[in-house]
Structure 1
């Protein structure tokens, strides 16, 4: 009585698999071009973000936080971004932001 009845199952996975196969076969070129465009943008964004000096990023985060909320919030955000760098995760953070 506590279990959901087995005869009331709707196997949607079969239909989703067929749709994905159809999309892959008929629109594969479109998705490849879309992937290439997105990857180009992300890799260039990553290169740009890694090019910016760390102190400029910390200062920019502080200024944005200060202008949007308050100087206390901006200081808190700037310190948090600075701490990410002290943990040795700066490059990973920039890749994630990109």
Structure 2
């Protein structure tokens, strides 16, 4: 459960930072997103060997060829998708300028 929570929270902040950087810091968006991703990895690697990107998890699981890595793949796909589904509306709600 802690791995799922770490992946969801990390991906949530990555989505949140990406949306914010793309809209407000156009020239510095890659730097802001990269620093956010670095911070997410520094915090979550001790917990889950973090992924926050399903494509990275899929490639490692397939190339590893171990049954346990393929069995855990669902977690590293479902958690980032769930965080993306939650992160975008939360960002829109917080930054709604009506």
Q: So what's the TM-score if we normalise by structure 2?
A: 0.32
Q: So what's the TM-score if we normalise by structure 1?
A: 0.32
Which one has more relative contact order, counting CA pairs under 8 Å at least 6 apart? 2
Bigger radius of gyration among the two: 1
